[in-house]
Amino acid sequence: MELQQIRYFLALAQELHFWNTAERMFITQSALSRQIKALENELGVQLFERNKRSVKLTAAGAFLRDQWAPLLDEINRVHLQARKIHEGAFGTVRIGYPGSIAYGFMPDLITGISKALPELKVDLVEPTDISFEQLLLGYQMDMAFRRDPAQNPALQSEFLYSEPYALVVPQSHRLTEQNFTGMQDLQHEKFILSNLAQTTYYTAGLRQIFEDYRITPDVRIETDFGGMVLGLVSKGLGVTILPYSYSFSDLPAVRFIRLPYKTNLYVTWRRNDNSPVLKNILKLVSESAKNYMN
């Protein structure tokens, strides 16, 4: 007994007409008759009462119709689901990202994913930079956005775009885009920064800025979470340096002043990961990144 024979049977049970059913199923009437006869012989059950004027289901046929119809619907649903998985349109993708892209690039990307792959579940993770590679290699994440390319040969990275660093000050601060001349203007300011002793690419960029201006920042508060930093700056507790992406937060109590330094954004994934979902997401990542290229 084949699945296609059951489909023929259910179609005929609905139409109760050999010619109409044959047209609907794109086979000849004689071929349909052979398939139904073969099914009856295999089951040892008469499924239809036939004469020149009508076709009727037998009691056994009606029973099998009622039993097989929902089963076939479930099989079709499972087959459709399998096809979606094969095409990368169904499943779960776990994405790691730095807080700096939470206000611009990341919402745009998730919007694109929701439109293109509405049945895909997205699990977002915001770890510290130092744990990205470990989470990817441990299959706790499928993809990560980071400020530097991966060094591990088991991972692959692609450059997406560059953006400037920005000095972030309270809205009432004396410095503006117009009167700012350089970091020397901040010689006596209180700073809110990540721990500059960390070995991440991001903190290396911050150290370079201060080294170029030969100043040692007076760091009063240390935190790695940009959202917290912005909140503290807005309360007048200090100034900071962040990627310009944070300006998309539209926090009204802070001012962003662009600096002549840039930071990059890369997407990283496991080199030998052939997941159809990952392939689809990477394509959407490239499309979203085009809107942020200078």
pLDDT at site 130: 57
* CATH code for the part of the protein at 3-86: 1.10.10.10
pLDDT tens-digit series, residues 194-217: 889 888 888 899 999 999 999 999
Delimit the domains of the chain by residue range. 3-86, 91-161+266-292, 163-264
Residue 167: which pLDDT band, with cuts at 50, 70 and 90?
very high
Residue 172: CB atoms within 10 Å: 8
Nearest Cα neighbor of 268 from 114, 98, 108 is 98
Structure tokens at 30: 């004689």
Asked whether the CA dihedral 117, 121, 127, 131 is positive or negative, the reply is: negative
Structure tokens at 163: 């953006």
* Whole-angstrom distance, CA of residue 256 vs CA of residue 260: 13
Question: What are the angstrom distances between the C-alpha of 241 and each of 41, 160, 196, 234, 245?
Answer: 80, 21, 12, 13, 11
Structure tokens at 101: 């892209």
Residue 80: which pLDDT band, with cuts at 50, 70 and 90?
low
Contact 251, 234 (CB under 8 A): yes
Q: Which fold has domain 163-264?
A: D-Maltodextrin-Binding Protein; domain 2 (3.40.190)
* CATH code for the part of the protein at 91-161+266-292: 3.40.190.10
Span 217-227, mean pLDDT? 91
Report the DSSP beta bridge partners of residue 268.
Answer: 144, 157
- Name the pTM for this structure: 0.72
pLDDT tens-digit series, residues 171-196: 999 999 999 999 999 988 999 998 89
Residue 89 CB burial class (10 angstroms; 0-12, 13-18, ≥19):
middle
Residue 18: which pLDDT band, with cuts at 50, 70 and 90?
confident
N-terminal to C-terminal alpha carbon distance within the chain? 63
Asked whether the CA dihedral 100, 102, 108, 109 is positive or negative, the reply is: positive
pLDDT tens-digit series, residues 116-160: 988 889 999 887 655 788 889 988 899 999 998 998 999 999 999
Q: How far is CA 24 from the centre of its chain?
A: 40
* Whole-angstrom distance, CA of residue 171 vs CA of residue 42: 83
pLDDT tens-digit series, residues 88-127: 666 888 999 988 899 889 999 999 999 998 888 999 988 7
Question: Over the chain, what is the mean pLDDT?
Answer: 89
Are 3-86 and 91-161+266-292 equal in CATH topology?
A: no
